Amino acid sequence: MSWEGTAHMEREQYQQVAIVAGALAVIVALMSGRLPRWLRIVLVLSLGILGAGAGLFGYRYFTQPTTLTIATGSLDGDVPRIMSAIAARMASTNAPVRLKVVELNGTSSMLLRCLMRAWNR
């Protein structure tokens, strides 16, 4: 590793230590009551809003359904119609997994076979 890379890494580590030290100083000052009352109220409210936002983000992220893409032949056949019916049923019942049916024509089907062969090697 070059000297510049080492210096850059040390600078990032110093920045991280400074951020943690600043956060600890604010927490200690908040706990000891040495901050003005208005500043303590603002800090507590902002931490509450930040916690509520993180909770809302986590809830939305974990309840979002997963989409599974299924490649089928032309849309004229029976299999794509059955898969589309299953996908519609899963969407209407709010299942945690959703299906996306994709039509493969001749060129994309050949490309998919080549990719599958390469993947299985």
Dihedral of alpha carbons 115, 119, 120, 121, sign? positive
pLDDT digits (tens, 9 = 90+) for 80-120: 788 889 999 998 998 888 988 877 766 666 676 677 777 77
Spatial CA neighbour of 83 closest among 93, 96, 73, 70: 70
Residue 71, both tokens: 């490649």
Q: How far is CA 113 from the centre of its chain?
A: 30
How far apart CA 22 and CA 92 sit, in angstroms, is: 50
- Listed in sequence order, the DSSP H helices in the chain are 3-32, 37-63, 78-92, 106-120
pTM: 0.46
What is the pLDDT, as a whole number, of residue 109? 63
Q: How far is CA 106 from the centre of its chain?
A: 34
pLDDT digits (tens, 9 = 90+) for 29-61: 777 777 788 887 888 898 899 999 999 999 988
